[in-house]
Chain A
Amino acid sequence: MIDNEHERRGEAMPDDTGVASRRTALKTLGLAAAAMVPGRGFAQAPAVRKKVSLAFWTWSDNPSHQKMLVDSVDAFNKSQSFITVALDAGSRTMEVQQKVLVAFAAGAAPDIAGAVQTHIQDYFNAGILWPIDPLFQKWDQKADYFPNILAFMRSKPEQPILYMPQRILPYILYYRADWFDAAGLKPPATYDAFIAAARQITKPGEHAGYAMRGVDYYAVQPIEPIWGSAGVQFVTADGKVDFADPTAVTVTEKWIGMFTKDKSAQASAISDGYPQLFSLMERGGAAMWIYGTHANPQLNAALGDRIQGVPTPNAGQTPRMLANPEGDFITTSCKEKEAAFEFLQFMGSADPVGMLAISRGYLPVRKSLSNDPRIQGNRFFKIATDHADTWWTPPFSWQNWANYQNKIAPYWQQALRQEITPKQWNEQAAALLRGEG
């Protein structure tokens, strides 16, 4: 059906070079196998027939990610002769958000920008994000998106479809199966079992029980699903902040206790970020690590079968798996929305997803792309897909979430250094969530 549609449109075109060169370009991405899945790639003829140039700002986690973005955009530009996308991908996630906000205020926003779920509501509230709902509803592949992804795309249930996620990043608990076996321990399912296991598996001078982050906001992120599973809502439906409630504080105390009391986290936790934590896991310096599935290719390469995964521990109420969607949105100042949407469709198609999502350890958000053998055969991806019903994010749509996320990091370091108590930390965080400070 789609193929017929494609050919019919192709005939109507003055020449077929657009489609042909798109095929060629896709092959050059080196992911030709995935591109061959019929109807799953970006197989539409371009709807936009005039010369259009679009600015696309997004972030790159590292240089190779950046290269993939450059290649994807190149492939899009070569695939048709009407739309030219200019990519700017040299900044990091938080910097891109600031850059877009400030540029918008100055009337110089890009046409398309990359965003994590965390920032979507902010962008929408600020009037920067143009909901793609009208174009999305007309699209014949809209049913290909997982139902819970469609909910994320609205950010709030009553809102229209806001943006196009390309991939999702579920967080799981990685653990050293060999050490757990030797110690006769089972991978922890509950939060208390996790804290106890971290203590038991620790060998002072050799390895820590848990690889703990401390340097930035992402230190707190792995705990978010644990708070969530304990029943903490951060912000209740009627706008009350419950993050300083005793339930939340108890979770914090136990976590910080791993570092301050149990000594089951590594001594350098306060200043450690991703490079340090990865190096710790890789050389056998820690037994457990809560992190995104994007670490699995590297961990697997370094440790093989010794590294295994389970869902993040449950602290009592409902199991939660932190799963942050990431994708692209169209700005309100974009003058060529259809062209921009065409680019979003491309970014959601098999090749860019194969490269920018699957090969980097992210999961696709579309059913048709989830049959990829690279997903089916991966034990870590399987944990995430098996528990897809528990995928969850904290209330990113809350108006003060950014205030909390941007300012909490130094206080977390203070809590680890015992300059403030866990309770004081929660109170500080709650104040930031209330928009104070």
Chain B
Amino acid sequence: MRRRALLRPIGIPLGAALILGYSLLPIIWIAIASITPERQPSAGATWQSGRAVDYFPSHPTTANFAALFDTVPFATYFRNSAVVACGTMIVALAVGSLGAYGFVRFRFRGRGPLLSATLMAYMIPSVVLLVPLMVLFRRYGLINTYPGLILAEATGTAPFTLLLLINYFSALPPELEQAAQIDGCSRLGALLRVVLPLAAPGLMTGGLFAFIMAWNDFLFAFLFATSDNVKTLPVIMRLFALGEPAVWGVSAAGAVLTTLPVALLFLGFQRMLISGLAAGAVKG
């Protein structure tokens, strides 16, 4: 007890410093890189980097960010990511909340097997789905479309949202709905007017996760979005990763902007997201 009390004043800051360093230094490094000027290209040359490692750029610049929008349709990619992420969020919330309510509030024939089936769907690895979705999407003209991408993202996010919302709904007391129904609300009315408002934090959490998962996904976007009109940011990150020519500063700027929306969402809704994470079933 005594020794412990002595250790604490050193141990806590030390541990915190270690953890902060491990988690944040790589992110700080890419942020520094994004404001480090690229070597000036010669006239007519494509941009290049022969960057030496520079920890404290003496002339920080926003030129990399400007170059990003000037030389790539970065705004389009950004829009694509936002559309796909929002679309996925809406789809996942719509089917997830209805389904969760159905599974939580009713006992019906086939309830157990059907729920197991949705969980099983959640466990189907994306690598199994890649090829058939590729073939089917081509057949139905869904390649290079927002709906196609949103459907692909829903394979993981819809069952996840369902799981999460089942948790939230089952924590709500059924008496409230019963009261509402006695007051003349229909079942759907009860869901819309009583359950959903009460489950708002759960819906927020589910929606945020669906958004972040879709925003971050690389695999489906890489295969199903080959056109600039629908390509999302992670696909561009890979181009940057093997980019010819090397464009470290601009790549870093792109990485920072790609990360920013999800990082801000996370920081803004930390408590919800962390409690959602603690529920533990996040895919990937």
Determine whether A and B are in direct contact in the complex, meaning some CB atoms lie less than 8 angstroms apart: yes
Measured CB to CB, the residues of A under 8 A from B are 61-67, 70, 88-92, 95, 99, 102, 106, 108, 215, 273-276, 278-279, 282-283, 297-298, 300-302, 359-360, 374
Across the interface, do A297 and B42 meet the contact criterion of CB distance under 8 Å? yes
Chain B positions 138 through 152: 1 when the CB is less than 8 Å from some CB of chain A, otherwise 0: 110101000000000
B226–A302 CB distance below 8 A:
no
- Asked if residues A62 and B247 are in contact (CB atoms below 8 Å), the reply is yes
Q: What residues on A are CB-neighbors of B243 within 8 Å?
A: 62, 275
Within 8 A of A (CB), among B41-75: 41-42, 44-52, 70-73
- Which B residues are CB-close (under 8 A) to A278? 48, 50, 245-246
Q: Is the CB of A95 within 8 A of B226?
A: yes
Q: B41: which A residues are within 8 A, CB to CB?
A: 298, 301
Report the nearest A residue to B47, measured CB to CB. A64
> Is the pair A99, B226 in contact by a Cβ cutoff of 8 Å?
yes
Inter-chain contact A66/B246, CB cutoff 8 Å: no
- Determine, out of B84-92, B160-168, B227-235, the stretch whose residues face the partner at the interface: B227-235
Provide the bound-state CA to CA distance between A37 and B139, in Å: 49
B175 within 8 A of A: no
* Beta-carbon contact of A297 and B45 below 8 Å: yes
**Given A88-B228, A99-B226, A102-B138, A275 and B46 contact (CB-CB distance below 8 Å):** no
* A282 engages B50 (CB within 8 Å): yes
Nearest CB in chain A to that of B235: its residue: A90
Partner of B46, one of A62, A91, A215, A300: A62
Any chain A CB within 8 A of the CB of B183? no
**Closest partner residue, chain B, to A87 (CB atom):** B228
Count, chain B residues at interface, CB 8 A = 32
**Using Cβ atoms and an 8 Å threshold, which residues of chain B touch A90?**
73, 226-228, 231
Q: Would B228 and A92 count as touching, CB distance under 8 A?
A: no
Binary contact readout B229-262 vs A (1 if CB under 8 angstroms, 0 otherwise): 1010000000100111111001000000000000
Task: List the 6 closest A-B pairs by CB distance, nearest first.
Answer: A275-B246, A301-B42, A282-B50, A90-B228, A63-B71, A63-B72
Given contacts A91-B226, A106-B138, A282-B50, contact A67 B71 (CB under 8 A): yes
- 9 inter-chain pairs at a CB distance below 8 angstroms, sorted by A residue, are A62-B46, A62-B47, A63-B247, A70-B73, A88-B227, A90-B227, A91-B226, A95-B226, A300-B42
- Return the CB mask of B6-49 against A: 1 if under 8 Å, else 0: 00000000000000000000000000000000000110111111
Give chain A residues whose Cβ lies under 8 Å from the Cβ of B47.
62, 64
If the complex has contacts A63-B71, A90-B228, A302-B50, are A274 and B244 also in contact, measured as CB distance less than 8 A? yes
Q: Which residues of chain A are near B228, meaning CB under 8 Å?
A: 88-90
Interface residues of B in 178-225 (CB under 8 A from A): none
Give complex CA distance A186, B71 in Å: 41
In whole angstroms, how far apart are the Cα atoms of A282 and B45 in the complex?
14
Q: Which residues of B have CB within 8 Å of A282?
A: 48, 50
Residue among A63, A65, A66, A359 making CB contact with B44, cutoff 8 Å: A359
In chain B, what residue has the closest Cβ to A301? B42
Q: Nearest-CB distance from A109 to chain B (Å)? A: 12
User: Would you give the shortest CB distance from B275 to chain A, in whole angstroms?
Assistant: 38
